[in-house]
Amino acid sequence: MDTKSAAQQLINASETRHFQPFGMYDAETDSFHFIAKDVPKFANRLNPCFTMFLSYPDEELVGFEIKKFSRLLHKMRALPAFAILFSENTVKFATSVDAALFGFGAADVCNEEMEDEQVTEVHQLLKSHRFEDTTLNFNSMELCET
């Protein structure tokens, strides 16, 4: 656990740096966050596993959260159609995002009401921040440069 003095050092050190888009797995909540901008934002939940973050007030897509992420990866690896997309330790991050977008990680297999526009928006977000070809190491749950 971080101590208060460690937190102080961290915050002091952080003062001179700027926000960078990132993707991060949170083991405590089994969720994966992708955040592109540090702006006021609100959640727009598309399905039980996928939530978009929209900026306030202009409602631009600035990130998303995938819940039950490890379960999603497990389900994907168990199906041949997805399994072929996995290497020994990695899978394309965008592939897991697509699976989550269509509710694959949820109890109901597929969200047929998913708007093409929303899928396109998410793809565009990844592309504009150069994450479209990023891979995910599903052992460490960290994104890797390609």
Which parts of this chain interact with another protein (CB under 8 A)? 1-4, 6-8, 10-12, 14-20, 22, 24, 28-29, 35, 38-45, 48, 53, 56
Of residues 2 and 116, the one with the C-beta less far from another protein = 2
We find the least distance from the C-beta atom of residue 97 to another protein, in angstroms, to be 19
Of residues 12 and 139, the one with the C-beta less far from another protein = 12
Of residues 38 and 142, the one with the C-beta less far from another protein = 38
Those residues with Cβ within 8 angstroms of residue 83's Cβ, 6 or more apart along the chain or in another chain: 76, 77
We find the least distance from the C-beta atom of residue 33 to another protein, in angstroms, to be 9
- DSSP for 50-110 reads EEEEEETTT--EEEEEEESHHHHHHHHHHSHHHHTTB-SSEEEHHHHHHHHHTTTTSSSS-
